[in-house]
Amino acid sequence: MEDHDRRSEDDQGPADTGGDGDRSDRVEESLLEDEAADAERGRDEIRDRQEHGGDQAEADAQDHGGHEAGGDHDHGGDHGDGGMHAGHETMFRRRFFVSTLLSIPVLLYSETLQEWLGFSVPAFPGSEWINPVFAVIVFAYGGVPFLRMAAPELRDRTPGMMTLISMAITVAFVYSLASVVFPTQSAFFWELVTLIDIMLLGHWIEMRSVRRASSALDELAQLMPDTAERITDEGETEEVPASELEEGNLVLVRPGASVPADGVLEEGESDVDESMITGESTPVGKEPGDEVIGGTVNGDGSLRVRISATGEETTLAGIMRLVEEAQESKSQTQMLADRAAGWLFYVALGAAVVTAVAWTIATGFESTVIERVVTVLVIACPHALGLAIPLVVAINTSLAARNGMLVRDRIAMEQARTLDTVVFDKTGTLTEGEQGVVDIATVDGVSEEDALRLAATVEGDSEHMIARAVREAAEERGVSRGSATEFEALKGRGVRATVDGERIHVGGPNLLSELEGDVPADLERFADRAGENARTVVYLIRDGEPVAAFALADVIREESYRVVDALHELGLEVAMLTGDSEDVARAVAADLGIDTVFAEVLPEDKDEKITELQEQGKSVAMVGDGVNDAPALTRADIGIAIGSGTDVAVQSADIILVQNNPMDVVRLVKLSRASYRKMKQNLVWAAGYNVFALPLAAGVLAPIGILLSPAVGALLMSLSTVIVAINAQFLRRVDLSVPSLPGVSAPKEPRPAD
């Protein structure tokens, strides 16, 4: 049977370069490299002793850049660096547990905590050194990494979370050690270790939330077979590595095998599954002279293909280059908590200077002045600030998963609130991606039910996509199939069988040409209209006379109508990318109410169309399911993959819709907006502590006898942490039900995509 022509939607276009790289890749780079070097040295020693071991997690991080938790993030720039985030998570987790364990003696021997909680621990010779010794170890192991990660912020003159943490723990550390030599009224040992522990916990939670196992390029590479059957000059076949193929080689592609490289079909006919490249569900019929793409899967025919491109010249390699270039050109996105931390850093420094000057003028320069300044600088970094964002992120990720959204990049989730344009791929995303009967025409005396019964009976045992569509149409109308005998498949033309003593054929135009039957005028007009809309036409022929025609097309998902309406209600524009003709695309857009249409999209255009929208100042999300969508998914501000799509599309995306429901895009935007509101609320609570505590620590109310001691400041710090944790839990109450917006409704019957 002859399907209508389709434009290939392979995406091979050039990718724009952009950005200066991800600053976050520099933040922890030296830290992780040092950890990897330490691990390597340890393995060398172990190998010398012929033993096994080593810290593989640190080794995995050796060749990767850093991801500064709480710093700037590239939402898609490290899709291929899954080991990087795993290494960070391992590092923070290990340091948190070790530091927390080492902090226990410090807490137990803290006089302040003993007084507050009413307990005591036995003293012994040298017990007075427990706090300073263990605090030094915790600082060196758990605190120094923050100092290392603050260096790029200071070099770039953009202080953030790392700078604020580093300032607080360094001041507390130096002052506390000084208090051992020069006794003062207070030391900050327990505040120091708990601050380090909380910050390590927050960064571990964050790393666990943002960790992703991105492997888009690996998935693309896996589409290509490792070996190929090359035909020698003598006509024999030899199995060779696919990498050894050269242009001009003739290869044998057996039924069900993958095409090893781009080429031209010289001999054989078959339907080739190109869905992993184009995203199109319909197998493409191939005849001698047609081009075939490396990585596609042959159907049930045996093919001989003359290789025309290998290695970097293949279509698949072009797509891989696009994905890689798009990943590298992402712009930097500064995190909300980091901006808040930057402001607090400057506020703390200003408050410390004012405190020092004011107290020096009032009392003269003495130890009290130093204690006041230190107190201001230490409590400027509240524990709550380290948890304000990670806690929301963890709950956000959990909620997303329960609602069918797998978050691979948490910055993408945060950015979803700023979207103003959502671009959908048509086939398999807005449509079912499978053929369905959308219209029927019959001659006088033949009802549509009779035509469906005969066609479904003949196609009863066929697994062809058109046969399935006919059977499903019959089932939907409650038409029962009869029994057929003498069934025969006519390759490339259709099928025939005997039903109730009548010879019945079902097939396309090629079958009509072979039977030389005259097509009734009504059916001919029906076929012409269907052809104008790029629909596939299949005829039912009874005893040599065409008596019915079926128009098949990709059917629009029922949810697509609702998702477009819902996105409009949220104030977003909706666009569609398709390789279909302009007329078909406009018809679908009008049916769905889509604002912008990019039709007849050439392979390179999907990536370029996203860039075109971004150059207009729009924040763009791309929703797709095919390999050809991978560069556009990566190029977009947010890439959203339908879960039923190809592995490459899924691995290239920031968000995966596990339930294959485009309506989850609406839930994504709603959850992102709710999460951002909760983040801001938490930051208000965390920073609000500073607004209250810093003036008191500075001694604003000292003239009336109110002076905030470091111990009370630590208590208030803990209280703000509890409030932030409770407030984050309220995010679980967000209503993500859809439709919950006015005007969002679904049509009674699904309509064709064409």
DSSP structure class, residue 121: -
What is the rounded CA–CA span in Å between residue 736 and residue 670? Answer: 7
What is the rounded CA–CA span in Å between residue 57 and residue 84? Answer: 10
- Where would I find the beta strands (DSSP E) of 627-737? 638-642, 655-657
Confirm if 650 and 656 have CB atoms less than 8 A apart: yes
227: enclosing H helix or E strand: strand 227-231
Give the side-chain half-sphere CA count within 13 A for 481: 19
Q: How many CB atoms lie within 10 A of CB 48?
A: 8
List 425, 554, 605, 625, catalytic entry: 425
Confirm if 238 and 229 have CB atoms less than 8 A apart: yes
Confirm if 592 and 560 have CB atoms less than 8 A apart: yes
Confirm if 379 and 717 have CB atoms less than 8 A apart: yes
Q: How many residues does the chain have?
A: 754
The yes-or-no answer on residue 233 being catalytic is no
Closest among 511, 518, 515 to 489, alpha carbons compared: 511
Closest among 134, 634, 568 to 412, alpha carbons compared: 634
What is the rounded CA–CA span in Å between residue 177 and residue 185? Answer: 13
The sign of the torsion formed by the CA atoms of 463, 464, 468, 474 equals negative
Closest among 640, 205, 215, 259 to 416, alpha carbons compared: 640
In our burial notation (b when 16+ CB lie closer than 10 A, e otherwise), range 136-147 reads bbbbebbbbbbb
Q: How many CB atoms lie within 10 A of CB 56?
A: 12
Confirm if 168 and 159 have CB atoms less than 8 A apart: no
What is the rounded CA–CA span in Å between residue 666 and residue 626? Answer: 21
In order of 97, 108, 196, the CA distances from 101 in angstroms are: 6, 12, 12
DSSP structure class, residue 464: S
What is the rounded CA–CA span in Å between residue 639 and residue 148? Answer: 32
Closest among 313, 311, 317, 309 to 291, alpha carbons compared: 309
Q: Which two tokens stand for residue 193?
A: 């270790």
Strand order in the sheet with 227-231: 237-241, 227-231, 250-253, 303-309, 262-267, 291-292
**Long-range pairs for 15-19 at CB < 8 Å and ≥24 separation?**
15/321, 15/322, 15/325, 15/326, 15/329, 15/607, 15/631, 15/635, 16/325, 16/329, 16/611, 16/635, 17/325, 17/328, 17/329, 18/329, 18/330, 18/331, 19/74, 19/328, 19/329, 19/330, 19/331, 19/332
Catalytic (active-site) positions: 425
